[in-house]
Amino acid sequence: KNGLTNKKDENFGEWYSEVVVNSEMIEYYDISGCYILRPWTMAIWEAMQEFFDAEIKKMKIKNCYFPLFVSPGVLEKEKDHIEGFAPEVAWVTKSGQSDLEVPIAIRPTSETVMYPYYSKWIRGHRDLPLRLNQWCNVVRWEFSNPTPFIRSREFLWQEGHTAFATQEEADAEVLDILELYRRIYEEFLAVPVVKGKKSEMEKFAGGYYTTSVEAFIPNTGRGVQGATSHCLGQNFAKMFEITYENEKGEKAMVWQNSWAYSTRTIGVMVMTHGDDKGLVLPPKVAAVQVIVVPVPFKDADTQGIFDACASTVKILSEAGIRAECDLRDNYSPGWKYSHWEMKGVPLRLEIGPKDLANSQTRAVRRDNSAKKDIPMADLVDQVKELLDTIQQNLFDVAKEKRDACVKEVRTWDEFVEALAQKKLILAPWCDEEEVEKDVKARTKGEIGAAKTLCSPFDQPALEEGTLCFASGKPAKKWSYWGRSY
């Protein structure tokens, strides 16, 4: 397997496509915008799912599964959220040779699938809170350039749909889930994100407010919405008549949330940590954390070396470390090094005659190529420590790179310059939608317009008299702006 033909800092798009294929995460499919998720990807998805599923179960949220198909009546029920998206909805119109009486939509999201049944199930206050989640796929027939993991016509996600008696409970859960999304990115994928609130224009139109974790890709200078946690208010309760009899015997509408993260998370991780040798996996989500490679030398005790590799894997596996050895005799050590580097395995252990004689192994880190001889006597502790160090270092390096892209601006000229420099722009804004639309119009172009990414919960000080960078009106809040995926 030769190296990549594209360099990350030269042609990022081609580099990314090569990495996801050469690392055996993705196989391209004969339908545009659809991708095969190979085991190397599914292991990452499952590692995140194991964490998130356990956390929502602690919150007494239950998993369910609703049908893939949506009858047209309900889909169109939610006017203002569907009209903008209608072109993205895929429809089943035939079975075999015959046309269906009524075409059936494939779920692009499940609010309209689930909420008629929420209305049926929620009668009295004892039925609340109702908190369900489903792990499933959704289909959105998007037309802008498809990108593995980041923008595909079918993707995997979890979608949580909860109903409460009070706004306070809903507000609290929105933030609880958002914190889980921050942990998914920062603790598992080692990707720094910003927590914030979406603008009125960028929020989910059917909702009340939207919070999100926002990532940023320095190479392209684009923000990417990492995951979203919406408060839907009582909008859907009104539409779907999701009411209950409260303690005073009155009919009251429920307060709802919906929240999701998807396989897009994986694409963000690849873009953040990958390098010119290929994928770089954070140990927490790596299918294989340690690869042990034998380095036989002529006929010097080859069997002993192979046995040492196998026993090293056994010892590490018994300690809960995901270790494999590559004993294939038809590939050279050098070939194996670049193969497993391409696949992003965080740590390699080499065992040659000298290592065998000194009962040690040569450890090589994937993140910074640092080498270190580890005595076999201390194998498990030192490998665990190395994996933790790699996990932390990947996050620290990514955070430093992201922070270096942040540019605080106060005037339009500074904004335009920062945008051209692919910065993540932090600017004081009057919070008026017309101004947001105007910024989009004034920055429209081949590579897309600038938009608000989020207004960070962690607001810098807004000195008295600070003016909006775009309108000159009194600024109300700081917001992150930039181009996005």
Ligand X SMILES: O=C(C[C@H]1NCCC[C@H]1O)Cn1cnc2c(c1=O)CCCC2
Residue 483 makes CB contacts below 8 A (sequence gap 6+) with: 220, 221, 222, 223, 419, 447, 448, 449, 450, 451
Burial of 4 (0-12, 13-18, 19+ CB in 10 A): middle
Closer to ligand X by Cβ: residue 81 or 402: 81
Closer to ligand X by Cβ: residue 81 or 182: 81
Choice from 44, 89, 253, 364 touching ligand X (CB under 6 A): 89
DSSP state of 283: G
Shortest Å distance, C-beta 85 to ligand X: 3
Give the amino acid at 169.
E
Helix (H) and strand (E) counts in the chain: 14, 23
Shortest Å distance, C-beta 164 to ligand X: 16
Preceding omega of 116 cis (within 30 degrees of 0): no
2, 154, 238, 334 from 150: Cα distances, Å:
26, 11, 33, 33
Shortest Å distance, C-beta 119 to ligand X: 17
CA–CA distance, 292 with 364 (Å, rounded to integer):
10
According to CB under 6 A, which residues from 424 to 463 bind ligand X? none
Closest CA to 460 of 429, 483, 431, 435: 429
Choice from 14, 88, 186, 414 touching ligand X (CB under 6 A): 88
Whether the CB-CB separation of 481 and 425 falls below 8 Å is answered with yes
Contact between 256 and ligand X (CB under 6 A)?
Answer: no
Residue 215 makes CB contacts below 8 A (sequence gap 6+) with: 185, 191, 192, 193, 223, 224, 226, 268, 272
Contact between 271 and ligand X (CB under 6 A)?
Answer: no
Contact between 260 and ligand X (CB under 6 A)?
Answer: yes
Residue 301 makes CB contacts below 8 A (sequence gap 6+) with: 353, 356
Q: How many residues belong to the site for ligand X (CB under 6 A)? A: 16
Alpha helices in 24-71 (DSSP H): 39-58
Closer to ligand X by Cβ: residue 161 or 477: 161
> Which span sits near ligand X by CB under 6 A: 29-37, 103-111, 302-310, 423-431?
103-111
Closer to ligand X by Cβ: residue 115 or 478: 115
CA–CA distance, 212 with 203 (Å, rounded to integer):
9
Shortest Å distance, C-beta 112 to ligand X: 8
According to CB under 6 A, which residues from 3 to 42 bind ligand X? none
The first and second tokens of residue 119, run together, are: 């209305």
Closer to ligand X by Cβ: residue 158 or 360: 158
CA–CA distance, 412 with 370 (Å, rounded to integer):
45
Closer to ligand X by Cβ: residue 162 or 219: 162
Closer to ligand X by Cβ: residue 212 or 272: 212
> Which span sits near ligand X by CB under 6 A: 125-133, 177-185, 253-261, 353-361?
253-261
Give the amino acid at 141.
W
Contact between 230 and ligand X (CB under 6 A)?
Answer: yes
Choice from 140, 153, 195, 402 touching ligand X (CB under 6 A): 140
Closer to ligand X by Cβ: residue 33 or 108: 108
Closer to ligand X by Cβ: residue 119 or 360: 119
According to CB under 6 A, which residues from 105 to 124 bind ligand X? 108-109, 111
Shortest Å distance, C-beta 223 to ligand X: 17
> Which span sits near ligand X by CB under 6 A: 186-194, 257-265, 275-283, 432-440?
257-265
What is the chain's percent helix, strand, coil content, to nearest 5? 35, 30, 35
Q: Phi-psi bin for 320: left (phi > 0), alpha (psi -120 to 50), beta?
A: left
CA–CA distance, 87 with 139 (Å, rounded to integer):
12
Choice from 45, 51, 66, 85 touching ligand X (CB under 6 A): 85
Cα 124 → chain centroid: 37
Choice from 159, 326, 355, 436 touching ligand X (CB under 6 A): 159
Choice from 16, 236, 255, 259 touching ligand X (CB under 6 A): 259
Contact between 228 and ligand X (CB under 6 A)?
Answer: yes
Closer to ligand X by Cβ: residue 178 or 269: 178
CA–CA distance, 211 with 183 (Å, rounded to integer):
15
Closer to ligand X by Cβ: residue 177 or 394: 177
> Which span sits near ligand X by CB under 6 A: 17-25, 31-39, 64-72, 84-92?
84-92
Closer to ligand X by Cβ: residue 155 or 478: 155
Choice from 22, 119, 147, 258 touching ligand X (CB under 6 A): 258
The first and second tokens of residue 427, run together, are: 């600017």
Residue 46 makes CB contacts below 8 A (sequence gap 6+) with: none
* Residues at the site binding ligand X, with contacts judged by CB under 6 A: 81-82, 85, 88-89, 108-109, 111, 140, 159, 204, 228, 230, 258-260
